[in-house]
Chains A and B, each alone.
Chain A
Amino acid sequence: AQKITQTQPGMFVQEKEAVTLDCTYDTSDQSYGLFWYKQPSSGEMIFLIYQGSYDEQNATEGRYSLNFQKARKSANLVISASQLGDSAMYFCAMREGLLGSGGSNYKLTFGKGTLLTVNP
């Protein structure tokens, strides 16, 4: 079974500073995908970034980067130059199999989330 652990219920960061949100995972699969989602107070789930288990380079998407340490089974999200609009709940998730590998019915396993507050 897959498991995602987010140990930080809440995090605070000053505007314009960088922040790291922790995520560790457990799986017996060799092929898997890791995701980060942002959920503002409106409730929508916003996809931020994806890392495949065989990707050697850390994924980056604008101000978001994923610090992937496979041996430690960690997939931390780094947000650079925080903005007030980054205040939200952040969820780490994983699925069996890689994106683009075909098939369907790929369930996502979510962590409990980290509430990020960006202070002006």
Chain B
Amino acid sequence: GAVVSQHPSWVICKSGTSVKIECRSLDFQATTMFWYRQFPKQSLMLMATSNEGSKATYEQGVEKDKFLINHASLTLSTLTVTSAHPEDSSFYICSAEYNEQFFGPGTRLTVL
């Protein structure tokens, strides 16, 4: 099956710093990648849809200046959480679309 990786798998950072999360499709090219956020014991919430070579489309209520998404190639999308605060602590999951969505293993972000 199609494999999607995320890096890092977990990260702890200080409040005010920025954190970059990478999402890679390892064995296929994905024109579209999705970024989700998941709080403990809750469902996945779609943050944005990322298309290669164009600006991401953000869901209502998601701050585009805080969650910067770059999709520079058909196999890589990045999510940068800028000036992170403790309330940004969450589990971030990406998926890459090739007919269906294939999910990465997720990144657990903890902001101190």
Contact = CB atoms under 8 A, between A and B. Distances in A.
Contacts of B106: 43-45
Interface size band for B: 20 to 34
Interface stretch (A62-70, A71-79, A101-109): A101-109
A43 B93 contact: yes
30 contacts: A42-B105, A43-B93, A43-B105, A43-B108, A44-B103, A45-B44, A45-B93, A45-B106, A47-B100, A47-B102, A91-B43, A99-B99, A104-B31, A104-B97, A105-B49, A105-B97, A106-B97, A106-B101, A107-B34, A107-B46, A107-B49, A108-B46, A108-B95, A108-B101, A110-B44, A111-B43, A112-B42, A112-B43, A113-B42, A113-B43
Interface of B: 31-32, 34, 38, 41-44, 46, 49, 51, 91, 93, 95, 97, 99-103, 105-106, 108
Interface residues of A, number: 20
Interface of A, secondary structure class, is loop
A113 B108 CA distance: 19
Nearest to A106: B97
A100 interface: yes
Contacts of A107: 34, 46, 49
Interface string A6-49: 00000000000000000000000000000001000011110100
Contacts of A47: 100, 102-103
